[in-house]
């Protein structure tokens, strides 16, 4: 049998084939399908299903607009609850059990190694950190997967990234991703695989950030190899044994690239686009004054991100005229942040800690920008108009860079404010 | 089945993202009004100039970003086909499910001036500038995907097969 990459193996299994090759389109049977609140409350986004393919394999998660900021959102969530009840969904995360879907899926063991996950949110590639194949689907694609249990994917070539070395202090998975986006640009029609000798020292938190952000380089799937770190993270979370995939020895790649993690430094991404739009912070000489600093989203709402921010602002104050907003990725992260004292540290520094939601990241609520304002964000994207006014400017950085910038009021290298 | 469209070209540059195609304000707009917000941040007034049957030529990373129904609103604007230097995979999905054919063609930005007449053959991948009589070979769309386009997109198929209700659920705003 032909040697396969990780994604080829998952598409072959779920497509009922012994092997697949780039260029094919495969019709697959998903292992898990995830619905969200926003499509239901958006006109044209939801056609009531008459049947679903498996109530144990369809999840509904409220995340984008939680708690409801408008009557329309509130009404949409009434419909969501009705749907969950009608079909007796096994996995329903209502307000109170909520969180950003990709965080909820990881925490609750629903993004399982070797499996195929369907969700209409573009950051579904987040599941790749756990060796689970996911990529954003369309609203109607997702409805088809939910009802009929079928979804098509093109089999694309893969680029393989091998990590070596260990990340220096104040360099995070976000900076690793920015480095890849800067050096190699867009990855349209290409899946990415991550492995190599440096992987063993890369915490799950950084892997989750990198996998999530691969949507921003237009990668198809973004899969990390399964290892001890994955197994450790998933301990006591899974309700069935994992079926991880590993690449075959002779698997073919478009290219194999090595990333020396030890040589990296923090990056800043300029407004409006992510690919080929970053600068190493030591080369970033402009003095950019900020109005808002945001840390949150599926990419950076993890407990490790909140710790990074708290460690920088502890005992200090956010600069006058600057708003520092922190949004935990889930209720579980929020509770842990309270237990660890991070929320108190952040609040005393002058930050606002919000409820868990997609919120400010997509310009939905709780942190929308006005015309002329400048934001540095540790979230997913920096598109014009993304976080509110199309006349606002959005820079991107790691949680540490964002926290450091909030203290000084200008975009700042976190290594210069750390004790 | 061959799938060929011919029409007037609108050119867009690199990194046209989903937030430009479908701004977040569209989530709260009635379905019939959502397309009117398309490109309001980068090309205000365009939705009033585009005519049914016009074609769109994009640059690198066309449609990068989120799962917003980019194909649906572009089709509602009147666009009958999309060819870009590189096309985000989720954008391709969203075009196909909404019955808007789309494909990649390296060099397409240089093949056209805005307003030229183009012919896109999605079955063979051939991209022709009818006005200037020159062409390039793009990447043909797979037959399975062209079948979805020919069927009018995924939704009519789901309705026909009895999987979903025929009319959209509308969350009341009052």
How high is the pLDDT of residue A318?
98
At B98, list the tokens.
């909404």
Return the pLDDT at A419: 54
* C-alpha distance across the termini of chain A, in Å: 56
> Which residues make beta-bridge pairs with B126?
B137
Closest by Cβ to A47, choosing from B87, B145, B168: B168
Q: What is the pLDDT of residue B1?
A: 57
Q: Can you give the C-alpha Rg of chain A in angstroms?
A: 20
Number of H helices, E strands in chain A: 13, 18
Contact A161, A261 (CB under 8 A): no
The number of C-beta contacts closer than 8 angstroms across A and B is: 186
In chain A, what is the greatest distance between 2 CA atoms, to the nearest angstrom?
Answer: 64
Over range B146-163, report the average pLDDT. Answer: 96
Domain locations in chain B as residue ranges? 4-160
Neighbours of B112 (CB within 10 A): 22
Go through chain A and tell me how many residues it has. 419
Element (H or E) spanning A174, and its range?
helix A173-184
CB contact under 8 A, A218 and B88: yes
Question: Would you tell me how many other CB atoms lie within 10 Å of the CB of residue B125?
Answer: 17
Residues of chain A with confidence (pLDDT) below 70: 1, 419
What is the dihedral sign for C-alpha A209, A214, A220, A222? negative
Give burial (CB, 10 Å; 0-12/13-18/19+) of B26: buried
The pLDDT score that the predictor gives to residue B169 is: 97
CA B67 from chain center: how many Å?
14
User: For residue A293, with 0-12 CB atoms within 10 Å meaning exposed, 13-18 middle and 19 or more buried, which class applies?
Assistant: buried
Q: What pLDDT is recorded for position A2?
A: 87
Residue B33: is its pLDDT beyond 80? Answer: yes
Stronger pLDDT, B149 or A1, i.e. the higher one: B149
- Facing residue for B145 by CB, picked from A25, A41, A220: A25
CATH homologous superfamily for the domain B4-160: Aconitase, domain 4 (3.20.19.10)
B115: confidence class by pLDDT, cuts 50, 70, 90: very high
Tell me the nearest-neighbour CA distance from B98 into chain A, angstroms.
8
Give all domains of chain A, ordered by start, each with its CATH number: 8-15+23-153 (3.30.499.10), 156-235+252-264 (3.40.1060.10), 269-416 (3.30.499.10)
The per-residue pLDDT for A418 is 74
> Which pLDDT belongs to residue A182?
98
Nearest neighbour of B155 by CB, restricted to A121, A137, A140: A140
Considering only CB atoms, which chain A residues are within 8 Å of B90? 122, 135-138, 215, 218
Choose the closest CB to A364 out of B24, B86, B88: B24
SS3 assignment for A225-240 = CCCHHHHHHHCCCCCC
Contact B63, B87 (CB under 8 A): yes
In whole angstroms, what is the distance from residue A270 CA to residue A393 CA?
A: 9
Q: ipTM score of the complex?
A: 0.94
A64: three-class secondary structure by DSSP:
coil
- Tell me whether B61 touches chain A (CB under 8 Å): yes
* pLDDT-above-90 percentage for chain B: 97
Q: Check CB contact under 8 Å for B164 and A363.
A: no
> C-alpha distances in angstroms, A340 versus A300, A303, A344, A353?
18, 10, 9, 14
């Amino acid at each position: 049998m032909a040697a396969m990459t990780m994604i080829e193996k998952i598409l072959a299994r779920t497509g009922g084939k012994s092997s697949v090759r780039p260029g094919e389109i495969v019709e697959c049977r998903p292992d898990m399908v995830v619905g969200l609140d926003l499509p239901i409350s958006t006109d044209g986004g939801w056609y009531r299903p008459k049947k679903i393919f498996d109530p144990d394999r369809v999840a509904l998660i409220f995340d984008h607009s939680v708690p409801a900021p408008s009557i329309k959102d509130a009404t949409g969530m009434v419909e969501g609850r009705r749907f969950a009840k009608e079909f007796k969904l096994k996995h329903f995360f209502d307000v109170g059990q909520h969180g950003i879907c990709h965080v909820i899926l990881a925490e609750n063991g629903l993004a399982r190694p070797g499996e195929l996950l369907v969700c209409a949110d573009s950051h579904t590639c987040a599941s790749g950190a756990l060796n689970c194949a996911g990529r954003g689907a369309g609203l109607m694609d997702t409805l088809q997967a939910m009802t009929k249990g079928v979804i098509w994917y093109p089999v694309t070539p893969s680029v393989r990234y091998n990590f070596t070395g260990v990340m220096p202090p104040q360099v995070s998975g976000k900076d690793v991703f920015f480095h890849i986006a800067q050096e190699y640009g867009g990855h349209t029609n290409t899946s990415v695989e991550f492995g190599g000798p440096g992987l063993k020292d890369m915490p799950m938190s950084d892997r989750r950030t990198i996998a999530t952000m691969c949507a921003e380089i237009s990668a198809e799937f973004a899969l990390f190899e399964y290892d001890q770190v994955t197994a450790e993270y998933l301990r006591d979370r899974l309700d069935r044994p994992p079926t991880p995939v590993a690449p075959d020895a002779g698997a073919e790649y478009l290219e194999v690239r090595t990333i020396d993690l030890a040589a990296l430094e923090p990056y800043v991404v300029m407004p409006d686009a992510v690919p080929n739009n970053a600068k190493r912070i030591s080369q970033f000489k402009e003095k950019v004054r900020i109005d808002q600093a945001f840390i949150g989203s599926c990419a950076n709402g993890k407990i490790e991100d909140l710790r990074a921010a708290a460690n920088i602002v502890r005992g200090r104050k956010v600069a006058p005229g600057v708003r520092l907003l922190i949004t935990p990725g889930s209720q579980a992260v929020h509770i842990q942040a309270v237990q660890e004292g991070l929320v108190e540290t952040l609040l005393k520094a002058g930050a606002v800690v919000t409820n868990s939601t997609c919120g400010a990241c997509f310009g939905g609520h709780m942190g929308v920008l006005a015309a002329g304002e400048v934001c540095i964000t540790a979230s997913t994207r920096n598109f014009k108009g993304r976080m509110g006014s199309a006349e606002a400017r959005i820079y991107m950085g790691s949680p540490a860079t964002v926290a450091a910038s909030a203290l000084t009021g200008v975009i700042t290298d976190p290594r210069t404010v750390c004790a | 089945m061959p799938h060929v469209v011919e029409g007037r070209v609108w050119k867009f540059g690199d990194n046209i993202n989903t937030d430009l195609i479908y701004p977040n304000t569209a989530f709260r707009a009635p379905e019939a009004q959502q397309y009117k917000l398309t490109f309001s941040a980068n090309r205000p007034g365009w939705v009033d100039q585009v005519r049914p049957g016009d074609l769109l030529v994009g640059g690198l990373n066309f449609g990068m970003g989120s799962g917003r129904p980019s194909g649906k609103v572009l089709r509602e604007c009147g666009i009958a086909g999309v060819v870009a230097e590189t096309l985000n995979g989720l954008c391709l999905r969203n075009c196909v499910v909404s019955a808007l054919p789309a494909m990649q063609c390296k060099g397409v930005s240089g093949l056209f001036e805005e307003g030229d007449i183009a012919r896109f053959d999605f079955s063979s991948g051939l991209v022709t500038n009818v006005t200037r009589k020159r062409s390039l070979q793009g990447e043909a769309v797979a037959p399975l995907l062209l079948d979805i386009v020919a069927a009018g997109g995924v939704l009519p198929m789901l309705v026909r097969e009895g999987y979903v209700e025929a009319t959209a659920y509308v969350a009341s705003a009052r």
